[in-house]
Amino acid sequence: MQRFTFLVFIMVLAGCGSTPYRDDYTKHVNLVKNQFNEPSSLTFTFDGGDSVDLRGHYDGDDEVGQTAILYQGGAGLVGLIAQIGLHASLVDSTRDDKLAVAQQEANAQIQTLIDQVQRLSLPLLLDDMGENLVTRDTVNTQTLRLRPIFFSKPDMSQLMLKLVAWIPHPKGGKNTSLYQNMIEVHGGKFAAVTALDDNTKQGDVLAQSLAVMLKKALQIALNDVTGVYQKSNGAQASFFIEQNNKTRVIRGSVVEENCDYQVVQDLHSWFIAIPVEQKESLVACNI
């Protein structure tokens, strides 16, 4: 009994360091093997609807100050566990509230862009790549689920896409996913979009930027599922991305490179597409 109580105590303590639920995050799982040989053999659908989800990007540091609590003595070990569990819940609730407020404030800074995407839809952005797109009522065990979330810098000069992709495991149970991964695509500078007075032109530039990133992310996901990207054995290197006036360092290996993007597989097996600066290049690229 004492051993069981001690284990429960440890589990509660472990819960104190938990992080809030994030819909733009997932762990890598790939049990597909050789099930899908070509992208054309795989259908896909947008999970959660066809609307474009655009959010302001903010510093993801979700650390909060310690929530003061005085543990009362005399309640025994069970009472102490209950008090610690309450403390953990308070910390998580405070952290969630701060993140929600931070997201609202970040969205307010890019409201102009959020208003522009209301007339867009995800299938519209895919155009010619949408041949294998299916509706929710026709999904099956070979349907790749997609959840794309776009982010904009506060000054609306650069976009980023996080695409969570997964295939539910047909047997369910502990094997919740046959495949799941996260793909990031970082857009190039498009400062001109905020300088356009014509809302139609502004919306066209924005739609084109979103379409380029969505198509690239989808192609990366299909390449991963169909085995085009094998686990990289290349030399690890450091890659740098400017993000909200901070430099983000990524450790990983290059799995694809062209005149537009360098696709890096990081240590989590996520894929990050980094735009290639084309200062003197006149090469036309098709994504």
- Does residue 111 sit in helix, strand or coil? helix
Lowest-confidence range among 41-50, 153-162, 186-195? 186-195
- The answer to whether 187 and 160 have CB atoms below 8 angstroms apart is yes
d(C-alpha 242, C-alpha 14), whole Å: 33
Lowest-confidence range among 86-95, 182-191, 262-271? 86-95
> How is residue 110 written in tokens?
């890019």
- The answer to whether 70 and 18 have CB atoms below 8 angstroms apart is no
CA dihedral (227, 235, 262, 258) in degrees, to 10, reads -80
Q: Is the pLDDT of residue 274 over 90?
A: yes
Q: Which residue has the higher pLDDT, 171 or 73?
A: 171
Q: Write out pLDDT tens, residues 101-128.
A: 888 898 999 999 999 999 999 999 998 8
d(C-alpha 265, C-alpha 259), whole Å: 18
Lowest-confidence range among 3-12, 135-144, 243-252? 3-12
Give residue 19's pLDDT band: very low, low, confident or very high (50, 70, 90): very low
Q: Is the pLDDT of residue 271 over 90?
A: yes
d(C-alpha 31, C-alpha 188), whole Å: 33
Q: Is the pLDDT of residue 74 over 50?
A: yes
- CA–CA distances in Å: residue 75 to residues 71, 72, 80, 82, 246: 10, 7, 7, 10, 48
- The answer to whether 218 and 126 have CB atoms below 8 angstroms apart is yes
Q: Write out pLDDT tens, residues 204-224.
A: 889 999 999 999 999 999 999
**For residue 140, which phi and psi values (nearest 5 degrees)?**
-145, -170
Q: What Rg value do the Cα atoms of the chain yield, rounded?
A: 22
Return the DSSP state at 121: B
- Does residue 206 sit in helix, strand or coil? helix
Q: Is the pLDDT of residue 196 over 60?
A: no
> How is residue 241 written in tokens?
């991305």
In terms of DSSP bridges, do strands 54-56 and 143-152 run parallel, antiparallel, or are they unpaired? parallel
26-46: average pLDDT: 86
| pLDDT at residue 66, rounded to an integer | 47
Q: Quick one: what percent of the chain has pLDDT higher than 70? A: 68
| pLDDT at residue 63, rounded to an integer | 42
Q: What pTM did the predictor assign?
A: 0.76
19-24: average pLDDT: 61
- Give Cα 102 distance to the centre of its chain: 18
**For residue 47, which phi and psi values (nearest 5 degrees)?**
-80, 125
> How is residue 281 written in tokens?
């290049």
d(C-alpha 145, C-alpha 165), whole Å: 6
The position carrying tokens 């976009």 is 159
d(C-alpha 206, C-alpha 193), whole Å: 7
Indicate if the alpha-carbon torsion angle 222, 278, 106, 66 is positive or negative: positive
Mean residue pLDDT across the chain: 78
